[in-house]
Structure 1
């Protein structure tokens, strides 16, 4: 019941309510690097052993994370499965990603695969993002790889690897220049998982999840979902003071957007240890950001002031000061909900627009100049954010 309520909260944009609920029920695991990934792998393997007939998804944001998870999970599951020691063959396939590369793909009975384009397979049509399990694999008398594939959509295909042809590339005289797009699917990207529904989901959060990705990640399951959050990124940012400006993030990301306010508290700047609560707050604030906005102006507190600024330097300096004052108001009260920061920022921006000035000490003014120069370096025009095609 509580997970259904959490999903409804995410759908309504109540990120903190949902994240706090998962945390209260022990469904958010925090850790770092390889140790965290191994904890996820161990949990998945245990679930496979205890619930062999149930369905599950292992999800991550980036292709690099998915590749590492695929390798780790496949190594364990194949070695411990019913087909341990079975015949393995290798084929050439095109791996997914913004810059697809041709790789050698090892195949054995029991492997999970995801296809990245529409293919003709005998009388059946294999769709982009179709998932399948390898039922059998062998070579025919000519030495060609042959696979028996059982698709999650409910049909079975036995075909030579060479006979899996992309739709539109099977006309007479046409020669496909690359292998088909397919890879192991012990883990998949969040982008690929949209629309999927399984019994249990295991989510690796290393690069941060915005509102849309967090919703996809935490609503694929029917029974349980666990979020494994890597705090190494947060700790590194905290240590280097790259996004922490007295509690305010002023950096501009690769999509040209002002990033979310940093949820880390204002203890001694040399402190490098993140508490679980600090990590939870960061998850919440990252989850309140929307990837639907692509222009830096969409993320500023006072769009009118941003548009009327005489220069980029002036616009960024005003935005920094606005967020700083708002953040000071939030963090001056230990129990203050940081999600109120946008409202406080807008209130301060309105005061500035109405002519109410805020005098700043000379030292703060010099610091603002430093922040301004650092932020301006990242304001070069950026291209639109492109999602992978599969």
Structure 2
């Protein structure tokens, strides 16, 4: 790597180069020196810490895009559910609608953050595209369930074009608060919150950071 474009800060760019060349300890040291590494005693505490950081950043800059990342799908599911609970309690989500997806059944609502998991030429989305649900019509039983999703744009969340997603034709959807590190390789956001567990290796750290 000679040029890094994903990170804005010079020390972050240096850390990315270190991760790419196996100097993981030095790279993580830079993040720790910046106050961006927090240790926790248990997995539950670590999950709660990641969600708390996500919520703090969301309140401080709601227009910025962000994502929580984890190595295991079980952790991603827990982070997504925790984020939904926060938004539900804040009155930011509409009524839940059961949506059959490639990941299993999920509840989606107006205002929901959505993560696209597969490239699609017709919708002009790719793996890692993020958006916000602006409406849900039809039903899964009738086969006409569709989500109106406003994609994230250059101006941040809720500033892109609106697409109509027929679930019968495109079901590669999940909640857009957290994702696996593997799936996040197509994602560009303003801020990422990483749940680092024992199963995450050097490659995972490089992709996540």
**What's 2:129 paired with?**
130
Match of 2:44 in 1: 34
Q: Aligned runs of 1:4-153 on 2, under 5 Å?
A: 4-31=13-40, 32-80=42-90, 83-84=92-93, 86-95=94-103, 103-119=104-120, 123-139=122-138, 144-152=144-152
Higher helix share: 1
Q: Distance in 2 between matches of 1:69 and 1:159?
A: 24
RMSD, aligned CA:
2.4
Structure 1 equivalent of residue 3 of structure 2? none
Q: CA deviation at 1:159?
A: 4.6
Q: Counterpart of 2:176?
A: 185
| Higher alpha-carbon Rg | 1
Give distance in 1, aligned partners of 2:35 and 2:54: 16
Give the secondary-structure state (helix, strand or coil) at the position aligned to 1:134.
strand
Unaligned runs of at least 5 residues, structure 1: 96-102, 167-179, 219-390
For residues 327-375 of structure 1, the C-alpha deviation after alignment (integer angstroms, 9 at most, x for no partner) is xxxxxxxxxxxxxxxxxxxxxxxxxxxxxxxxxxxxxxxxxxxxxxxxx
* Contact 1:78/1:111 (8 A) holds in 2: no
**Residues 80 and 65 from structure 1, CA distance in 2 versus in 1: closer, same or farther, beyond 3 angstroms?**
same
Would you say the 8 A contact 1:87–1:138 is kept in 2?
A: no
- For 1:78 and 1:119, locate their aligned partners in 2 and report how far apart those are by CA, in whole Å: 30
Change (3 A) 1:159 1:216: closer
Gaps of 5+ in 2: 1-9, 154-159
Aligned 8 A contact 1:144 1:160 in 2: yes
1:274-300 CA deviation, whole Å, 9 max, x = no partner?
Answer: xxxxxxxxxxxxxxxxxxxxxxxxxxx
Instruction: Give the C-alpha shift of residue 106 in structure 1.
Output: 1.0
Higher RCO (C-alpha 8 Å, min separation 6): 2
Q: How does the TM-score come out when normalised to structure 1?
A: 0.45
Alignment of 1:201-280 (within 5 A): 201-218=192-209
Q: Structure 1's 149 and 208: CA in aligned 2 closer, same or farther, altered over 3 A?
A: same
Q: Is the 8 A contact 1:115 1:130 kept in 2?
A: yes
- Following the alignment from structure 1 to structure 2, what is the Cα–Cα distance between the partners of residues 214 and 94? 27
